[in-house]
Amino acid sequence: MQAITGMEWLKKWIKQLEVTNSKFEDDIKQITEIKPKVYNEFREWTPLKLILMNYALNVCTTIIKNTSFFKKRYYVDLFAGSGINKIKGKNDDFIIGSSLISSLNHADAYDSMIFCEKNPSYSEALDLRLKTLKKDNLTIMKKKYELCLNNIIKKVSDKNTYSFFFIDPNSTEFIWDSMKKVLQVRSDIIFNFMTSEIFRAVGLAKAGLSAGENLTRLFGDESWNEAYDAEELIEIYKKNILKERPEAPIKIIRIKSKQFNFCYHLLFITNKTKGENKWLRALDKAKKEIESNSDVAVKNALDIIKKRQSELSQYCN
């Protein structure tokens, strides 16, 4: 059977997130009836990030379920949101967020799934929504991630324990001291690095319009000052990761917006294994497909899924 690619691949993975096409449609319908006016609002590039998260979590969970090495398994989302996302400017384009993607698909594979969310409206809605799933291993921490992290690290630091961290800040909120703590435990990590926005902050600091304190907290030092473009910036951050977790395999996936001419990067960080991490090849397909698309392609895919337009033999991505 020929592997699907392009728009067909994109549609397949967006359908898993889109509230009326997911295989969990009945569960999601019940969930969206809870506090229906509470949701996170994003642009069309957000599904690309969530597709990567869903894809990587599928791969990693399949592996850990088939090994007896890990005695405890934890999933951690430090910026969990409300569980429901709405595409800005669209009245009916709702997709599930990271917390629902993980709990609907994989809660049974983890001893505990931990969600941190500081926004009271979002955390309350997420709490009520997850309770409909009737799973006793889902924990909502209604506070800033900084107030959750030390307790979480204690949980995931035991011998033969596996953890998957999804870290999705808006900008520079996830400071380097926190990243070091996550890197020091046996964890797979997806980290959203808002490259274009962070590089704009670098430009302001170099121009003397800011002190760059947030950048130093983000990088752990002033290495950000060495970057002269966005691609150099992400490479500097990668080097800092390797200082803390030497030889760590790192996949970098670039997500772009054609409408607004910016990009950000997702870093998938894992641990070196005796088998040379051959399983990481499974992520190469997702990386290739995601990087070949943009927010415009997502818009087209959603239009087709929602039957706002017919299938196209050619489309702009």
Q: Which fold has domain 23-283?
A: Rossmann fold (3.40.50)
- State the pTM of this model: 0.94
Q: Which of 111, 114, 121 is nearest to 140 (CA)?
A: 114
Q: What is the chain's Cα-based Rg? A: 19
d(C-alpha 128, C-alpha 118), whole Å: 15
Cβ distance 124 to 36 under 8 Å?
no
Contact by Cβ (8 Å): 101, 24: no
CA–CA dist 103, 308 (Å, integer): 30
Q: Are 280 and 252 in contact (CB under 8 A)?
A: no
Tokens standing for 7? 């728009």
CA dihedral 171, 246, 149, 106 (to 10 degrees): 90
Residue 1: per-residue pLDDT = 45
Select from 180, 188, 178 the least CA-distant residue to 74. Answer: 188
What pLDDT does 66 receive? 86
Of the candidates 45, 106, 111, 32, the one whose C-alpha atom is nearest the C-alpha of residue 74 is 111
* Beta-bridge partners for 85: 40, 95
Map tokens 């400071």 to a residue: 175
Pairing of strands 262-269, 250-257: antiparallel
- The pLDDT, as a whole number, for residue 88 is 84
pLDDT along the chain (317 residues), means of 10: 81 91 91 95 91 96 90 97 90 90 96 98 98 96 97 96 97 97 97 96 96 97 96 97 96 92 94 83 93 91 80 49
- Residue 317 has a pLDDT of 52
